[in-house]
Amino acid sequence: MIARLTRHPAVVPIGAVVLAILIGAVVILLAGLNPIDAYAAVLQGSLDVRNLDYTFSVWGFICGMGLVAAIPLRMGEFNLGGNGQLVLGGVTAYVVASQLGLPGIIAVPFALIAAMLVSGGFAAVSAPLATRFGIPIIISTLLLSPVAVAVASYLVRFPLAEKGSGNAQTPVLPEDAHIWSLGDLRYTTVGLPLMVAVMVIFYVVDSRSAVGFELRVTGANRRFGEYAGLKPGRLAIGAMGSAGAVAGLVGAIIVLSSPYRFIDGALISPGYTFAGLAAALLAGGRPALVPVTAILFTILQVGGASMERTAEVPRQLSDVLQGVVIVILALRVVLDRRRAGAGKDS
């Protein structure tokens, strides 16, 4: 019975999280602070009823950035350029929403679609770079990302800058181009159901469609996939393109939400990209699990600020925990092998 319980597929991820939290507690203790206070503050800050509005909006963004990593992960590729794709989407959405003078009803959808197209196209460039020129996707996405971030930063500081403001930010978007909020909530907007819809689409495509199957076959065994006539090059364009499109969508939603402007650095500094990557790795890329693992990193991210305020533990601890979870997950193969070995003996 116990043996069967320890073989349950959820044991490894949950074990990794528990171990990471314990390691985090040791780090906090070594820093001369109180880990129980710190973790209590994390939970309180993120799950307090008054903060739930904000927590849910962040969960939506981390789920989105989780997909940005998870979709290419399905075919065994790593997209680490989420920051660039995110920012490019944000800046595109701002330009479309502010400069084209579109009427209210179509301004927001147009801005979202434009952001998805631009970021998707930008991310898809990495696919031919890998298949034609042999530059791994993990490298090209990482090298392209700072370029996109810098270009967006330049646009916000100069051509699109708010005149007379000391901050590197654009003017506020016209009222028509604000994304619709849900009821009278401040942070949660139509963006959240959109994100949920995107996750459902990914789940259905992944588990019910031929493309999803091809993606998973390629991820499990690329040579077998090629032998069976699959085209990894074309799959990579699709996977990177859709990952980039989701990142663009997240960036667009952030810019079209309160405070309704593009602020330099505001899309990157909350760390959605790497929280999403950690969520995707913890979920093993499985679409149905990404929203679940995203909850953990949302709590860490949102609660980090209140942990800093009330327990005086620096919020960088969230990044430490993300890193530790990923390292433990990578090392779990040892456990698997040992268990397999033990199974053979008995």
Q: What mask of x and - would describe binding to another protein in positions 127 to 156, judged by CB under 8 A?
A: --x--xxxxx-xxx-xxx-xx-xxx-xx--
Quote the CA–CA distance of 59 and 147 in Å, as a whole number: 27
Of 36, 196, 333, 342, which lies in the binding site for another protein, with binding defined by CB under 8 A? 333
State in angstroms the smallest separation of the CB of 57 from another protein: 23
Identify whether the C-beta of residue 172 lies closer than 8 Å to the C-beta of residue 178.
no
CB atoms within 10 A of CB 112: 25
* Residue at token pair 């579109």: 102
CB atoms within 10 A of CB 273: 28
Identify whether the C-beta of residue 67 lies closer than 8 Å to the C-beta of residue 290.
yes
For another protein (CB under 8 A), the number of binding residues is: 51
Give 189's strand partners.
181
Q: What mask of x and - would describe binding to another protein in positions 24 to 43, judged by CB under 8 A?
A: ---x---xx-----------
Quote the CA–CA distance of 143 and 176 in Å, as a whole number: 36
Of 38, 123, 237, 281, which lies in the binding site for another protein, with binding defined by CB under 8 A? 281
Closer by beta carbon to another protein, 141 or else 189: 141
Q: Which two tokens mark 202?
A: 């990914």
Quote the CA–CA distance of 286 and 215 in Å, as a whole number: 12
State in angstroms the smallest separation of the CB of 317 from another protein: 6
Which amino acid belongs to residue 223? R
Closer by beta carbon to another protein, 292 or else 335: 335
Q: What mask of x and - would describe binding to another protein in positions 75 to 94, judged by CB under 8 A?
A: ---x-x--------------
Give the binding site for another protein (CB under 8 A). Answer: 27, 31-32, 78, 80, 129, 132-136, 138-140, 142-144, 146-147, 149-151, 153-154, 157-158, 274, 277-278, 281, 314, 316-334, 337
